[in-house]
Amino acid sequence: MLRSDYKLVRVPLDDIRIPVGISFRESVNSFFSMKNSEWEFASSPVIYDNVLVIQCDVLENSFVAAYDVKTGKELWKTERDEYPGWCTPNIYTHAGKTFIAVNGYKHRGGYDFKTGKEVWKMSGGGDIRISTPITGEGLIYFNSAHGRSSPIIAVKKSATGDITLRDGETSNEGVLWSIPGGGSYMHTLLLYRNCLYNVNRNGQVACLDPLTWRSSRVSSTESVPVFSARRSSFVVPGIGTIHCFCAGSQASAI
């Protein structure tokens, strides 16, 4: 787990004492220190193929890094030119290789899983990033908002180099499509059965075609869509009301 004091801790599940006086054997790797921070750390570690990946976007010296999941040994660490954010990275594969996708404002990008080498990058979008990128249909989907821009962006897994969109552009060689004002601040997108779901900042649930971004408005709420085994899309807003919809492009409340 990743503690608020920026220490990476490996906790054996059979040696946890909760809730009072927590006691456990721990392997601690203090990978970063930030004395002055308005908000605590929120990016979650990602484990894949016995490697733990961390995205650390802070006031200065931002980076993405990989560690041996058993020993905590640093495998590689790549600096990032980025403002503070609270995104969790994700893993994707392309052409037989594995990569790491990270959301960002100045520095959204993809990194080689084995070496940490930057494969592609782009800037722009909401200036405070929280949502996790998701993958499917040969694409990596990014959501962001806050500030002047709130795009949803579909980046090709084959992207390389700087793929930043120019003013007025919604696509290029590395970006299949983008919606300049369709994104949301807090929410991670949900992709299920050729439908890309998003909860907009105005409280509307949108169902997008993942390849063309054509959408159908579903309903009004203010939280994260979650899939259930009964082919429904559940949305739980902050006020405590549960909205339940059938999965699909048509608005059908249950």
Query: Token pair of 172, please?
Result: 């290029």
Q: Which residues contact 96 (CB under 8 A, 6 or more apart)?
A: none
The pLDDT score that the predictor gives to residue 19 is 40
Determine the pLDDT at residue 146: 81
* Least-confidence region, from 10-14, 68-72, 108-112, 129-133: 10-14
Tokens linked to 101: 């996708």
Q: Give the global pTM.
A: 0.81
Residue 201 has pLDDT above 70, yes or no: no
* Residue (of 177, 205, 178, 169) closest to 189 by Cα position: 205
Which domains, from first to last, does the chain contain?
7-188 (2.40.128.630)
Q: 168 Cβ partners below 8 Å, 6+ apart? A: none
SS3 223: coil
Most confident of 6-15, 78-87, 130-139: 130-139
Residue 94 token pair: 């392309």
pLDDT reading at 139 higher than 70: yes
- Which pLDDT score, from 0 to 100, does residue 207 have? 86
Q: For residue 215, how many C-alpha atoms fall within 13 Å in the half-sphere facing its CB?
A: 19
| H or E element at residue 68 | strand 63-68
Max distance between CA atoms of the chain, in angstroms, equals 56
pLDDT of residue 17: 42
Nearest CA among 84, 108, 240 for reference residue 174:
108
3-class DSSP assignment, residue 180:
coil
Range scoring the smallest mean pLDDT among 8-12, 72-76, 99-103: 8-12
